[in-house]
């Protein structure tokens, strides 16, 4: 069985070589990316300020971070989904069909963004149904805020053909509502935004109650109702003077499914620190949350970090740099596969071993057939060559089968006798 053993050793050596080459390739493939690209919104908005804080924390861990500011924020998820796009991650607030974005995973919702509706000084509007014929400040076209604002306005019968929609950036809308150049301004921003605190505390403009907020959210399942408590802007000045109901949309961080695990870990740790504190409309520790946006596949690493009681790094990241820890982390799956290979290979070689062990019996059966044939006629050259080959096999086999050798000799004698007659 020397030949068989040689082939087996060759196969094992080939497997080992392939594993080593695969491991070398995997190490290179497992290195964290040089740059993480975040798709944010206009400068000064929530997406931008959150991205800047993520950038600060990730760069402290050795990552390079680039922020792209989008005016048309509805397009962010398209670029996150595009495998050819440089964008690694971004923000989502509008309702989308998750099935269209198969390369996207959720890293959790980080807040509920209320739709603040401010009216200029001197007006006493009770509901958005009173907005017909007014100048209404809205975000630029193809922005997430614009889509949600128009959806709410349409619920009250307010459209661009019976009112004037004025597209403005966040800072321009703040200025316009303060100066009175617009009658109403729609701000889809977090309750922590300093813009609203400034407007509300000074009483420059007042909030309009979103009447029928519950009905609107029932018809638009991704929205929810939040309540801004009385006195949130100023208890001394009693601003607002009543509890204000508003519709709110969840802001979710989305990323490419193949975003490196080290980047996912770093971003999740940053988000947990950034958005965990309470706001005027959320409780401490309520965010980040995997329980709000349920349409996308969740990042299991981010979910584990959010479930932990503290924002401490996973074990590897505590004791190694993020680049080194991330490389080992990404290799975990590969190492798991390698550790299971002996079991897999043993299963693959078992049929070969069984086939090899049964070869002497198969050769013997062949000789028995040829022996019976030699007693009736002269063997052909091909049949005789087969006898010699089997005889050679038994000669080389250290577990010599005597019966096989005897058959081979008898067949040759029969062949010689037949030829001499």
Encode pLDDT of 27-43 as tens digits: 445 577 889 999 999 99
Q: Pick the range with the lowest mean pLDDT from 19-28, 101-110, 111-120.
A: 19-28
How confident is the model over 70-91, as pLDDT tens digits? 999 999 999 999 999 999 999 9
What average pLDDT does this structure show over 267-293?
A: 93
What average pLDDT does this structure show over 267-278?
A: 94
Domain presence at residue 8: no
Give the pLDDT of residue 162. Answer: 97
Give the pLDDT of residue 2. Answer: 44
What average pLDDT does this structure show over 275-290?
A: 93
Full-model pTM: 0.73
Residues 307 and 367 in one domain: no
Domain presence at residue 159: yes
Residue 345 has pLDDT above 60, yes or no: no
What average pLDDT does this structure show over 87-111?
A: 96
* CA nearest neighbour of 29 among 385, 357, 295, 331: 331
Residues 416 and 282 in one domain: no
Domain presence at residue 241: yes
Residue 245 has pLDDT above 60, yes or no: yes
Residues 272 and 392 in one domain: no
Residue 1 has pLDDT above 50, yes or no: no
Q: Pick the range with the lowest mean pLDDT from 176-190, 241-255, 342-356.
A: 342-356
Q: Are 318 and 336 in contact (CB under 8 A)?
A: no
Residues 396 and 277 in one domain: no
Most confident region among 76-85, 194-203, 343-352 by mean pLDDT: 76-85
Which of 312, 335, 369 lies at the terminal end of a domain, its last residue?
A: 312
What average pLDDT does this structure show over 159-168?
A: 97
* CA nearest neighbour of 36 among 10, 13, 56: 56
Residues 268 and 397 in one domain: no
What average pLDDT does this structure show over 6-28?
A: 60
Domain presence at residue 340: no
Distance CA 143, CA 75 (A): 8
What average pLDDT does this structure show over 150-165?
A: 97
Residues 75 and 223 in one domain: yes
Is the N-terminal amide bond of 240 cis, ω within 30° of 0? yes
Here the tokens at position 76 are 């962010």
Instruction: Give the number of domains in the chain.
Output: 2
Largest distance between two CA atoms of the chain: 131
Distance CA 139, CA 149 (A): 8
Residue with tokens 């009447």, as numbered in its chain: 211
Give the pLDDT of residue 377. Answer: 80
Domain of 137 in residue numbering reads as: 35-312
Residue 20 has pLDDT above 80, yes or no: no
Domain presence at residue 7: no
């Amino acid at each position: 069985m020397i030949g068989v053993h040689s082939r087996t050793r060759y196969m094992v050596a080939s497997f080992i070589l392939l594993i080593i080459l695969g491991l070398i390739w995997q190490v290179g493939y497992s290195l964290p990316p040089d740059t993480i690209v975040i798709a944010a919104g206009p400068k000064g908005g929530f997406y931008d300020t959150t991205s800047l804080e993520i950038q600060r924390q990730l760069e402290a861990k050795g990552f390079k971070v680039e922020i792209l500011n989008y005016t048309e924020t509805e397009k962010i998820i398209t670029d996150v989904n595009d495998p050819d796009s440089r964008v690694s991650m971004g923000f989502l607030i509008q309702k989308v069909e998750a099935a269209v974005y198969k390369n996207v995973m959720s890293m959790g919702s980080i807040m509920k963004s209320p739709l603040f509706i401010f009216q200029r000084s001197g007006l006493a509007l009770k509901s958005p149904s009173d907005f017909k014929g007014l100048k209404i400040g809205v975000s630029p076209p193809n922005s997430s805020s614009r889509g949600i604002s128009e959806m709410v306005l349409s619920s009250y019968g307010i459209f661009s053909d019976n009112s004037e929609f004025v597209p403005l950036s966040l800072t321009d809308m703040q200025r316009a509502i303060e100066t009175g150049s617009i009658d109403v301004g729609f701000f889809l921003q977090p309750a922590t935004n300093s813009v609203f605190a400034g407007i509300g505390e000074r009483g420059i403009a007042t909030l309009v109650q979103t009447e029928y907020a519950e009905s609107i959210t029932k018809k638009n399942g991704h929205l929810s109702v939040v309540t801004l408590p009385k006195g949130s802007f100023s208890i001394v000045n009693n601003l607002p003077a009543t509890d204000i109901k508003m519709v709110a949309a969840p802001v979710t961080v989305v990323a490419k499914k193949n975003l490196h695990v080290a980047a996912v870990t770093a971003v999740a740790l940053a988000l947990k620190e950034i958005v965990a504190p309470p706001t005027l409309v959320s409780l401490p520790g309520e965010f980040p949350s995997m329980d709000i946006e349920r349409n996308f596949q969740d990042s299991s690493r981010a979910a584990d970090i959010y479930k932990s009681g503290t924002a401490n790094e996973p074990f590897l990241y505590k004791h190694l740099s993020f680049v080194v820890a991330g490389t080992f982390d990404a290799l975990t799956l590969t190492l798991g596969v390698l550790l299971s290979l002996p079991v897999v290979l043993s299963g693959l070689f078992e049929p070969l071993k069984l086939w090899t062990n049964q070869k002497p019996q198969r050769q013997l059966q062949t000789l028995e057939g040829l022996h019976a044939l030699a007693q009736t006629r002269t063997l052909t050259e091909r049949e005789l060559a087969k006898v010699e080959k089997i005889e050679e096999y038994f000669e080389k086999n250290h577990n010599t089968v005597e019966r096989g050798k005897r058959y081979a000799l008898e067949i040759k004698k029969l062949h010689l006798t037949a030829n001499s007659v």
